[in-house]
Structure 1
């Protein structure tokens, strides 16, 4: 069995503010992206997240992510003004076709890792989720061309963030907080990928779901 990649357990020493404005972003920006926010049974995840957030919330400069906005970031598409309604419909059709050949994926989330701008639960294993992303990127390429999918094809690190950093600080205090927690892992089934229209107007990633596309032949 392949060993877990280093990013799943190697903690950052220093935390930095997550909420700086990336190029093209401002209040009012809307962005199409693919997330995984549909799970067969999210109760174990919510329980695990709440256990860690109870301790992390005592650390100044961390923004806890409400239960309704917990998600596994997948793959961006583009700013809403750059993607037509016709292209959105075609993206959904391509995703349905390609994801019909995939199967639901079982993963586990257990102990958070300190990332530079967030505290996150890495997926275990990572490879099945990475493969779903490759399939989603292929669907984007079907519609927007081979260079149509933003971000790099490789290096994707599947995770569910529990808190975003809002004040730059050493990671030690937050690491002490998560080390105080003993919690059962959350075993989840990923059975759909959602195309969403996202914004961050309120210092939180919020969205409306355009459509959730199931994995497996139920997608047909």
Structure 2
């Protein structure tokens, strides 16, 4: 997500998305349960509200994506339950993880807040990857490069072509930092197109 983009573009213009009734299975940390998280999101969204061409993440669905498991029709409900069970076993000794939200990340298709430090979050990423592999009968994944994942909370998606410079100047590189203690990992089916926000939480792993 570096260097800073010079131009924003429509995220969904040429993006293939699931049809209504089809879904995608994700491991997320659902952040609406933490008041500090939606306060941080609201601070960023207030600056973006002065510009056209943004689709704001609803407060109820602010999240940090941990791992994309795959199309929902590739998993039975029994496999989803097994994924939650395995992840819970992997994380049974993991305490709530204190992280900070504040640093702004810019992408041509989205504006995000970094969730830091990333090293503290690697155990939940590893648990999600391993649980998914076990449930579908694959070999446990090897350790991934540190650059493979940038934990973030998307506050808005770009829906139009426009220069990035004025947006970056208005929002800046950070909002007031909020600290939260992540204490749950969620398995979620996102039904239909992304912008519908038709989400079903199928399992929760408490830390």
TM-score, normalization by structure 1: 0.82
What root-mean-square deviation, in Å, do the aligned CA atoms of Structure 1 and Structure 2 show? 2.5
Structure 2 residue 164 is matched with structure 1 residue 184: no
- List structure 1 runs of 4+ shifted beyond 3 angstroms: 20-24, 145-149
**Among 103, 114, 122, the residue aligned to 1:122:** 114
CA spacing shift, 1:21–1:127, aligned 2, 3 Å: farther
Partner Cα separation in structure 1 for residue 82 and residue 62 of structure 2: 27
Aligned ranges 1:98-109 → 2 under 5 Å: 98-109=90-101
Which residue is 2:7 aligned to?
14
Shift of 1:160: 0.1
Deviations 1:148-198 (A, max 9, x none): 88xx9441110000000111222112112203x984211011111001111
Unaligned runs of 5+ in 2: none
Unaligned runs of 5+ in 1: 1-6, 216-220
Which residue is 1:158 aligned to?
151
Shift of 1:205: 3.8
More strand, by proportion: 2
> 1:105, 1:189 within 8 Å by CA — same for their partners in 2?
yes
Report the count of equivalent residues: 204
Partner Cα separation in structure 2 for residue 38 and residue 47 of structure 1: 11
Deviations 1:109-135 (A, max 9, x none): 113121121000011211222331012
Structure 2 residue 86 is matched with structure 1 residue 94: yes
Which residue is 1:60 aligned to?
52
Q: Secondary structure at the match of 1:108?
A: strand
